[in-house]
A and B are shown apart, each in its own frame.
Chain A
């Protein structure tokens, strides 16, 4: 299947090379998504939104591919580089090792990778200050809890997810020093069954708000909350609609923004390699719009979130980043 897919890709690319020649000055972008692929309502969809926005606003030419598994990443990156793309964007930390082997072979091509750092002279590493966004939803949790017990469910205990946990705990403590945060890691990002059980076990110990940073596993956390009548907090994309009224808010990571800004830099000739982080200050991370929970989360709480946001921007609050 992969072979046939690659063949189609070749056809598509040859065709696009021919048509693209007419617009030689157009910036050409190749996007390699992560294994989740389009339609994940999260990471990949957000990246694609950024790409479409760049097409509409900046008039770029683009092509994209949805890899089936990690072993394909290198081929796809190399393919776009060979096809003469100006910028090759790879979504997700699963691209890391592939990019280390591809990018040095194409010193004139610009590369960007999301969610991890690849330290090479032609690679821009787009990372997020997840701890800052998690701090803000921690403020919501700290103010909304009645039992003073709050849960955190992580996918796997890796440095990236620790950032969510630590930021969240600090946010809770900032507004509610008496609150206790139970921390649980499921050990899997695609096991909603265990996610649900983990959340239930926290609920049984008294937690009434549970935040998840666990991908597909987290959907079980949201179901546990809806079933048992406690609150959940979503992550990565706006998950408030998954269980309206149960998901208080979501810690939103604007991958679309990171993709768009990077393309814009290339178009404007300002592309710079190195780490570029998106945090609260540039709207790269934050809370959802509370579209389904305005009647549950009082104005005063949302006010507090806004205050915390301003204080993070001004530097009055510095959220700990456990990876540094």
Chain B
């Protein structure tokens, strides 16, 4: 019994939790901006994938993974903006538009991957962002081994969460954003530009999802593999709901998913059947959603296109 606890509660598991939560964090916070403005973004998975690919391609040509991350940010923004055009300007069904982006991203990355790297499935290895050691923190027992030596992108993800919290709840723009998502008609009547706010929010969500994808391809790993996001965009979406459309809540949810994943890998190695272990993160999610979180209430105008009157 103590062996089992030792296996599941130790610094290496928590360090792995942070690594696995990071791509989810960027993307969940991205999704949150979009939904807070009233636009459902189911295309996060595709935006991540495009970000992952762009980061590798840019890193390959420039030799700098950080420029790669900027490239991912730009490519993700573009995808977010396209989703915005479809769902804000043309009032397309937002779920359909998002799904289209996911399918499009799957095809586009495969195509470009073959065009640029002349091989399918896998890109060449590219320069990646390496782990750093924080001077004092890394010496603290327990905390040091967990957060003292991590990838800079991991710290960036944590900063993003708190920055998002401040932007959404402590700034004027955040207030506008929330009002646009709750009651666009009322927001409009007091002079808030609903369309512009939504465009900014959706573009921002694409940018963050792109960076989440870049973490996978040029920080955690150093190459692109077709379909390498493997559903993380949808998990991030779940984390956002789980966290009640709130950055700090999303952080908790992402850490929970990350931990469940790290835990299931370690449980497998002591001989618990893999099928059982692999479904645990999802079972835990369902239990948590039913029992502990209570009703998750979406922004009221989420998913509804806004038609300006008059």
Contact = CB atoms under 8 A, between A and B. Distances in A.
Contact of B227 (A1, A37, A187, A190): A190
Nearest to A156: B274
Contact of A193 (B107, B220, B278): B220
Contacts of B20: 193-194, 197
A188 B261 CA distance: 13
Contacts of B220: 193, 196
B120 A194 contact: no
A1 B103 CA distance: 13
A191 B226 CA distance: 9
Contacts of A1: 107
Interface string A186-216: 0110111110111011101100000000001
A112 B117 CA distance: 31
Nearest to A215: B121
B119 A40 contact: yes
A37 B120 contact: yes
Contacts of A201: 12, 16, 262, 265-266, 269
A220 B224 CA distance: 11
Contacts of A200: 16
Given A201-B16, A202-B269, A223-B221, A194 B118 contact: no
Contacts of B228: 190-193, 216
A216 B221 contact: no
Contacts of B230: 188, 190-191, 193-194
B274 A204 contact: no
Contacts of B221: 192-193, 196, 219-220, 223
Size range of the chain A interface in the assembly = 35 or more
Interface stretch (A79-87, A100-108, A126-134, A177-185): A177-185
Given A191-B230, A193-B216, A194-B261, A216 B266 contact: no
A198 B121 CA distance: 21
A184 B268 contact: yes
Interface string B86-118: 000000000000000000000100000010011
A157 B277 CA distance: 12
Interface string B116-156: 01111110010000000000000000000000000000000
A257 B163 CA distance: 57
B18 to A, nearest CB: 11
Interface residues of B, number: 33
Contact of B265 (A190, A192, A197): A197
Interface in A38-61: 38-42, 44
Interface in B207-258: 216, 220-223, 225-228, 230
Interface in B258-284: 261-262, 265-266, 268-269, 274-275, 278
Contact of B278 (A44, A183, A187, A192): A187
A274 interface: no
A184 B269 contact: yes
B83 interface: no
A39 B274 CA distance: 32
A67 interface: no
A216 B122 contact: yes
Given A42-B121, A191-B230, A193-B220, A219 B269 contact: no
A36 B121 contact: yes
B226 A216 contact: yes
B16 A197 contact: yes
B23 A193 contact: yes
B269 A39 contact: no
Contact of A216 (B107, B118, B121): B121
A197 B262 contact: yes
Nearest to A220: B221
A197 B261 contact: yes
A38 B120 contact: yes
Contacts of B225: 190, 192, 216, 219
Given A184-B265, A220-B221, A190 B226 contact: yes
Interface in A146-191: 157, 182-185, 187-188, 190-191
A201 B266 CA distance: 7
B19 interface: yes
21 contacts: A39-B119, A40-B119, A41-B119, A185-B278, A187-B274, A190-B226, A191-B228, A192-B223, A194-B20, A196-B221, A197-B16, A197-B262, A201-B12, A201-B269, A216-B121, A216-B226, A216-B228, A219-B122, A219-B223, A223-B223, A242-B125
Given A68-B107, A185-B274, A194-B265, 16 more contacts: A37-B120, A39-B118, A184-B269, A184-B274, A185-B278, A187-B274, A192-B228, A194-B20, A194-B230, A196-B221, A197-B16, A197-B20, A198-B265, A201-B12, A201-B265, A220-B221
* 10 smallest beta-carbon distances between A and B, as pairs: A39-B120, A39-B119, A191-B230, A40-B121, A216-B225, A190-B227, A185-B274, A37-B120, A182-B269, A40-B120
